[in-house]
Every structure is written in structure tokens, then in C-alpha cells.
Amino acid sequence: MFGKSIYIFNPDTDYALASGSPYYTPPKSIVRLIHEMAYFPKRFAGVEDIVVPYHKIDQILTVIGGVDNLQNYAIRPWGWNARIRGQLLDAGVPEHKLPTTEDIDRLRELSHRRTTIRGNEMLNKLLISYNVNPHHLSPLPLEFYSEDELLDYYHNTKDETFIKAPWSSSGRGIMYTGDNRDEQIREWAHGIIRRQGSVMYEPAADKVLDFATEWNIVDGEPAYWGLSLFETSSRGKYHGNIDISQREITDRIRQFAPDFDNRWIESQYDMLGKLIGKQYQGPLGIDMLVDRTGAIRGCIEINLRMTMGHATLLESRHSSDLSDL
């Protein structure tokens, strides 16, 4: 699926994007993960690929045998951000092998959860054009810039709600209002707004299944890789992916949402072309879910980086059935 690659597992990429600074320092819990999973990409890397531990990124030229050998490889971190770009430059990687600072700034803005709002708006219109049952149209998340505004809306609607930081992933940076008192919600939202400028407000679903579509964008053209199935807690924390075939994943989805078919893939393809286009190049995943009524929410989150779904697809090599819906 890729050419010869240098893989770097930098699981702090979403934190680094939130910071926006090349001098960002990850929390201790993530530093531990960086060391514990340093060679995680070996699970899906090809025989000609190289895995460089993130905590040894300053030694990248030594690991690959010099700067000349870089010409034969694409550098593929888990995700791009200003910090890893700066680290690679400091390690001696030529600038032409890296995204520009403008690319990184654009990626940071696209990774904001308001992109998900625009994605849902587009996807709802596209699903209607593909004659998908309106039951599957998703409620649009909202963005609030003050905790008072957020709590006023929450009290008026009485929704069961997830409040999310604009830059976050894997269930981190998410609060479920049903578990917390007003003052806890206010304090948490205040901290996120102070650091990131706003919070996102998303009505909770009575979820029965989490899944995703996995993509790669090259020169503005989205390429569909396949489906991934994963498990999260009822509060949205990521637990892990399930390694089964594309046919089995499709059957599992249709068990709860019988009308799931290629119209969803086609709608997302159109949406990605309009929403992302040539602004980003590389892998991305679109998180989705099915609720207890059988409704599909088609754009819970857009992850503009490698995902565990990509890793599972690469590892299992289900190349023969990736498009077998």
C-alpha cells in the first residue's frame, strides 16, 4: 500500500497538534507509551521498511545508514506536527523530505473538531443525494467559547452529551456530562477553553457498535483502504481494534444497521474530496457508530494521521477483500 517507508510511532501527535509548538513536551503517561511501544510499527511494516524508535529520533541518520539512503524512503510518523518536524530537522533530515511549516499549520487547523462539524453537514447532504434513509442523518456537534454559554445550552436541552476538546483523540479530552455535576463540567470546560479556545458539544448516542473507514489521500484523491472495527468504553475511551476480515466487519455492521452499503463509502469519498482535497496528504480514518435504533452516525471524528485501523489492515494484509462490501 505504501512504498519503502521509515515508520516512527509518535503517539503524542494529537497533543502536539493541540499545542502547536515545536517545543511541546508530552505528559509522563505518553512518554511511557513512547518507550513501551517504540517498535509497534514492526507489526505492520514491510520487509524493506525501517522502524525508528521515537525516543531515538535524533539517531535516525545512523539507523538508516546516512542521509543518502533517505532518498529511497518516505518518512511516515504516526502523525505530523510541528514538534516532530523540528526534531527531524535537528537530526539532520533535509527539509525537502518533510512537510513545510505551512503544511503543518494547515494540518493543525484541519485536525480541529470543527472540521467534523463541516464534514457532518456535507455528509448529511450527500447521503440524501444517495437516497439513504434520513434516519441516518447525524445531529451536528456545536462549538462553545464560554463555559456559561455551554451550561446554559446544556440545561435548556437536558441532552446526554459528550463535551470534547477541539484537539484530542482515543477518548482523551472527552467528558460525559451524565457522570459529572455542573461545577465539574464548568471547571473542565473552562480549562479546555483556556488552552484551546473552545469546546465541542455532541449529543450522546445509545451506541451498540464502533467502526471506521480507513483512507489515504494522495494529490487530493481519497483512496479507500477498508473498514476497521474497534471497541470503546461507554464514555468513549478507546480499548482496541478487532482483527477480522472485511466481510465479517460488514456483516457485524449490518447486524445492527441492515442498510449499510457502498453508498456510505461513496458519500464519504465525495465529502473528503470537498472537505480535505489537496490540503492534506496521507492516511486518515473516519470514526463512525451505530446506535440502538440502527441509525449510523457517519462522521464522529476525522483522524488525519495513521490509526490503529490502518495498522490492523496493513498487518492482516486483507488486500483481496478491502473493497468487498
Confidence at residue 91, expressed as pLDDT on a 0 to 100 scale = 97
3-state secondary structure of 47: coil
At 245-301, the pLDDT tens digits run 999 999 999 999 999 999 999 999 999 999 999 999 999 999 999 999 999 999 999
3-state secondary structure of 298: strand
Is residue 299 domain-resident? yes
Report which of residues 322 and 38 the model is more confident about. 38
Q: Please indicate, yes or no, whether residues 79 and 154 belong to a single structural domain of this protein.
A: no
At 91-142, the pLDDT tens digits run 999 999 999 999 999 999 999 999 999 999 999 999 999 999 999 999 999 9
**CATH number where 190 lies:** 3.30.1490.20
At 62-91, the pLDDT tens digits run 999 888 889 989 999 999 999 999 999 999
Q: Please indicate, yes or no, whether residues 129 and 268 belong to a single structural domain of this protein.
A: yes
CB-based contact 112:125 (threshold 8 Å):
no
Packing angle, helices 101-111 and 82-90, rounded to 10: 150
Confidence at residue 130, expressed as pLDDT on a 0 to 100 scale = 96
Can you read off the three cell numbers belonging to residue 223? 483512496
Mean local confidence (pLDDT), 234-242: 78
Q: Please indicate, yes or no, whether residues 124 and 212 belong to a single structural domain of this protein.
A: yes
Q: Please indicate, yes or no, whether residues 34 and 50 belong to a single structural domain of this protein.
A: yes
Is the predicted pLDDT of residue 233 greater than 80, yes or no? no
Domain residue limits at 172: 142-203
Is residue 23 domain-resident? yes
Confidence at residue 316, expressed as pLDDT on a 0 to 100 scale = 81
Strands (E), the chain: 5-8, 50-51, 74-77, 142-144, 161-164, 174-176, 199-203, 207-218, 221-232, 238-242, 282-291, 296-303
Taking the model in full, what pTM does it have? 0.92
Is residue 114 domain-resident? yes
Burial of 194 (0-12, 13-18, 19+ CB in 10 A): exposed
- Specify the DSSP class assigned to residue 50: E
Longest CA–CA span in the chain (Å) reads 62
Is the predicted pLDDT of residue 321 greater than 60, yes or no? no
Can you read off the three cell numbers belonging to residue 17? 497538534
Q: Binning pLDDT at 50, 70 and 90, where does residue 323 land?
A: very low
Is the predicted pLDDT of residue 2 greater than 90, yes or no? no
Q: Please indicate, yes or no, whether residues 127 and 270 belong to a single structural domain of this protein.
A: yes
Q: Please indicate, yes or no, whether residues 216 and 250 belong to a single structural domain of this protein.
A: yes
Is residue 192 domain-resident? yes
Confidence at residue 157, expressed as pLDDT on a 0 to 100 scale = 84
Q: Binning pLDDT at 50, 70 and 90, where does residue 169 land?
A: low
Please state the domain count of the chain. 3
Lowest mean pLDDT across 81-90, 122-131, 165-174, 314-323 = 314-323
Confidence at residue 234, expressed as pLDDT on a 0 to 100 scale = 66
Is the predicted pLDDT of residue 322 greater than 70, yes or no? no
Is the predicted pLDDT of residue 170 greater than 80, yes or no? no
Q: Please indicate, yes or no, whether residues 224 and 96 belong to a single structural domain of this protein.
A: no
Confidence at residue 303, expressed as pLDDT on a 0 to 100 scale = 96
Report which of residues 318 and 4 the model is more confident about. 4
